[in-house]
Structure 1
Amino acid sequence: QDVWATVLYLIGLAAFIYACVVGFPPALAQIQQGIWPGSTQGAAGSAPSWIRLLYPLAVVIVAALVFAMAFFYLMRSYPRQMIKVAYWVSAAYLILFGIFLLGVRSWIFGGLMILLGLLYALAYRAMLFKVPFATVMLQLTTSISRQFPATQWIGFLATLLTLAFQIVWYIALLGLFNVFYSNSAQPGATVWVILVFMGKFFFLYWTQEVVKNTVHVTIAGLYATVYFTGTSTGDALAFHVPVSNPTLKSARRALTTSFGSICFGSLLIAIIQTLRFLARMAQNESAREGNWLLCLLACCLNCILACLEDMLNYFNHYAFTQVAIYGKDYCTAGKDTWNLFLNRGIEAIINDNLIDNVILMGGISAGFIGALVGFLVVFLDSLVASTVESYLLYCIIGFVLSFSCFMSMLRVITSGVSTTFVCLAEDPGTMERLKPELFQIMAETWPAVQWRV
């Protein structure tokens, strides 16, 4: 499906490889002369800069993996409690963040955040009726993921792949700038560097979206296989699937017949992200020049694009679920997703909100653990300069990397929930026939499941 998008992405990949060939030699020469920020230069017996970077990253990744496994066990064992705790933690976070903003005299945004937190808390009673259904969905997805553990490692491997791509991308960009500055006297050099600069950022955004959505389609394909072929084994949450290596086969479909649709949907997000990058650049540049009218216009444009990006991301999540289940092209999947939202949209949004709260709470907790690991690296390693900049740098890296690893591994839950929701909404009869005990539980917590869209 959507072969043109695959061809377009491969052309972009070829251009990226060419940029790496041109940019790597000067960039590596510059890196060999430098040293990792925060290291004490000239320290006796100090390790090479790349080693000084890799070992704290490895410690952060291991800590994130351990925490993700422990959190996964808590979600599977205590789903209802985790949903309720995460809901109130989210409300408390909004209120505390608003108080912080008031403390730095950001009166408007601080008051707005406190108001949102209070409204979120007051809405709990209205959303309470969806907690039983969200509990069953969380139990179901964690049980299937436990039965097929490859789903969790796919997300983790995708995170490592994205991290490696970002490092290669940064090195190539550094080398291209060196090439540009060495040839800056040539006519048209400015236009050339602007095109390369924007093309590099566009392809970075596009590739990150392609990797993320490929993982989602792979996991969604597995859950669809379990839904349409799996039969109960006596336990309502354990299934026999008459398909060998269903995760591998789902990944094969995502990387072949559905890859064009993934590239198509990811392209739309990448375009918006690139436009947001341009708006932020214009905003910062106009602020430095004192052009407040242009700064205001750029800020408004960035806000509008951010809203569009959020909406399209949410829409794409369900559109790619349709792609994974039925093998549709992106446009057909989009039309069917819109029809699904018209019929069952509010249930999907509430259900996603309750479960996403749990995962986001775990991701933030994992981020703080990673930041603590980064702090301890600077505190305990005598070869790292104990400066404010070093502590800040390592804590930020630890938080971002640990948060990313956790969210990637737990992406299986959000993908599984959305897939099961779509299958239930469009074909509840299959579950009633193959998994009658589970269907009875679902019908008790969500009576509308008995009528298909």
Structure 2
Amino acid sequence: MSGYYNEQPRPYPPPNQQGEAQEFYQQQPQQQAYHAQNYPPPDDGPLPPKAGETFEEQFAIEKPKFNDIWAAILWILTFLGFIAVSVLALRGYSRSEKTSGGGIYDGNAEFGLTTNTVVLFAFVLVVAWGVSLLYLLAIRTFTKQIIYISAILNVVVGIGSAAYYFYRGYYSAAIVFLIFAVLYAFCFWTWRSRIPFTVLMLRTVISVAKSYGHVFLVSLCGGFIALAFSAWFSVTLVGIYVRWTPNSSNTACREGGCSNGKVYGLIAFSVFAAFWTSEIIKNVMHVTVSGVYGGWYFSAGGSSSNSPPSHPTLGAFRRAMTYSFGSICFGSLIVSLIQMLRQAASVAQNDAAQSGDIFQYILFCIASCIISIIQWAVEFLNEYAYSYIALYGKAYFPAAKATWNLIKDRGIDALIQDCLINPVLTMGAVFVGYLCALLGYLWLEFTKPSYNERNTYTAVIMAFAFLIGLQIANVFLNPLKSGATTIFVAIAVDPQVLMSDHPDLYGHMLSVYPQIQQAVHV
């Protein structure tokens, strides 16, 4: 860490010029940095670290128990239901292969989604995984430049895609992509003053990831799991269409039970299960990485009485998959339900655009915006609650309440609002989604599958391609978001550790963000 800070050209104020915050800390003994605060600790948990060598010992839970176990049971039942639907759908798909096409150009296809769609989703998955990995490596290598690269790529690809869709006459997609491009351009212009602080925090996150724990390994493993699950979901989605679409040519319907209502219902259930499972994958990674950054903040400083815990990644992962798994399922369930509403509004918006109903298009556009704001608020709270859960092992609601109170009482909300790590990484994920959606559209245009002669499935396939790319990219980038989130939560728990154990980081914060003295109420 010190090597990175020594490379920074901007000096920070010496100790006698750092204002009231420095004067406050000069009054505190430095031998036991963590336990020397004058303000009360949180009411609902002991403050780590304790004496010990492992993560479980230093961040011990006084009365360990399996929290929110009902949510874990509900997810297990949902996942078993998804497995059952998948088995039935794929069995029916295998029986109907002759009528669902045998390759990219599905010359023998007679109804519904076909093997062409399976191959398309396979390409989408490979592109999403590959581009996400390259983007992660670019962040690791070009930490400062990636902020500008992300913004430029989003705007250029968004405008380019919109222009192409206008040229091809697909106006609904063109308008959506153009709005996103203009919005990101405006946001980046207004974010300029916050870039130096964001660069500092992102470099700190990357530096810790390189030297402590196995953050990039977590990202890579999570990416593989997300890829495998997305492939399974994509094949299941096509299998549902093939198995239960009512058509005289559908050999699977000879057993009965085919109807459009069943297709829509099973797709809705499968999408919900996929959303929920994907959120759980991301949040297990989040809790795991939060343990790594919590160990670094509280125990890796020069004046800390504890040495860094051994195997922090494995210890935090164990907690995520045992005592905290129910809480992870609970928070993920809330986000998944909101995502379902947003997806429904998006599909309805595309249908209204294709039918030329301007009133419904505007109505569903407004609904999508409102749902997006709600989703942002819930995901924001979840991120910080899960970092607290990683260190304290609390249930979901107590952790969310305690985290919110900490952030507000310590004034960390001001720091969070001025840090652009999450928006920048989200821009990167949206860029991957753009590419996947464009790939889906080009695939349909050039292969011309029989099921899409009237562009019936264009909006649906583009939406799913975008979501697949977005989800895989979010999984890849999630550990970096988790690192920044955990640092902010740790600062809220004990700002003194930042001063005493990480003076270089605090000094450079003062240099690029002097408001930290007022933002952190100590």
**TM-score normalised by length of structure 1:** 0.72
Cα 1:199/1:226, change in 2 over 3 Å: same
Matches within 5 A, 1:125-204: 128=193, 130-147=194-211, 148=214, 149-167=216-234, 169-170=236-237, 173-174=240-241, 177=244, 181-182=253-254, 196-204=266-274
1:64: Cα distance to partner?
A: 4.8
Cα distance in 2 between the residues matched to 1:293 and 1:61: 38
Name stretches of at least 5 consecutive residues in structure 1 with no aligned partner.
43-47, 234-239, 379-384
Report SS of the residue matched to 1:38.
coil
Cα distance in 1 between the residues matched to 2:122 and 2:472: 16
Cα 1:171/1:243, change in 2 over 3 Å: farther
Q: What CA deviation, in whole Å up to 9, does each residue of 1:8-55 have, x standing for no partner?
A: 11121222233234333212222466446634869xxxxx98889868
Cα distance in 2 between the residues matched to 1:266 and 1:66: 27
Shifted more, 340-349 versus 87-96: the winner is: 87-96
Cα 1:256/1:110, change in 2 over 3 Å: closer
Name the residue aligned to 2:487: 420
Cα 1:338/1:93, change in 2 over 3 Å: farther
Q: What CA deviation, in whole Å up to 9, does each residue of 1:299-333 have, x standing for no partner?
A: 54444323322322223222222222322211122
Q: Does structure 2 retain, via aligned residues, the 8 Å contact 1:96–1:114?
A: no
Name the residue aligned to 1:344: 412
Q: Which of 431, 435, 449 does residue 498 from structure 2 map onto?
A: 431
Cα distance in 2 between the residues matched to 1:34 and 1:201: 22
Cα 1:307/1:389, change in 2 over 3 Å: farther
Q: What CA deviation, in whole Å up to 9, does each residue of 1:334-353 have, x standing for no partner?
A: 223433453332321220x3
Matches within 5 A, 1:9-408: 9-31=75-97, 34-35=100-101, 38-39=104-105, 58=126, 61-62=129-130, 64-66=132-134, 68-75=136-143, 79=144, 81-83=145-147, 86=150, 120=187, 123-124=190-191, 128=193, 130-147=194-211, 148=214, 149-167=216-234, 169-170=236-237, 173-174=240-241, 177=244, 181-182=253-254, 196-232=266-302, 242-279=308-345, 300-342=366-408, 343-351=411-419, 353=420, 355-360=421-426, 362-363=428-429, 387=446, 389=448, 405-408=472-475
Q: Does structure 2 retain, via aligned residues, the 8 Å contact 1:102–1:110?
A: no
Cα 1:95/1:201, change in 2 over 3 Å: closer
Cα 1:23/1:157, change in 2 over 3 Å: same
Which amino acid in 1 is paired with 2:95?
A
Cα 1:94/1:425, change in 2 over 3 Å: farther
Name stretches of at least 5 consecutive residues in structure 2 with no aligned partner.
1-66, 109-114, 247-251, 450-454
Q: Does structure 1 retain, via aligned residues, the 8 Å contact 2:89–2:240?
A: yes
Shifted more, 18-27 versus 168-177: the winner is: 168-177
Q: Does structure 2 retain, via aligned residues, the 8 Å contact 1:90–1:357?
A: no
Name the residue aligned to 1:236: none
Q: Does structure 1 retain, via aligned residues, the 8 Å contact 2:241–2:263?
A: no
Cα 1:173/1:341, change in 2 over 3 Å: farther
Q: Give the structure with the higher percent helix.
A: 1
Paired residues, what number?
423
Q: CA RMSD in A?
A: 5.0
Q: Does structure 2 retain, via aligned residues, the 8 Å contact 1:371–1:395?
A: yes
Identity of aligned residues (%): 26
Cα 1:251/1:194, change in 2 over 3 Å: same
Cα distance in 1 between the residues matched to 2:296 and 2:275: 32
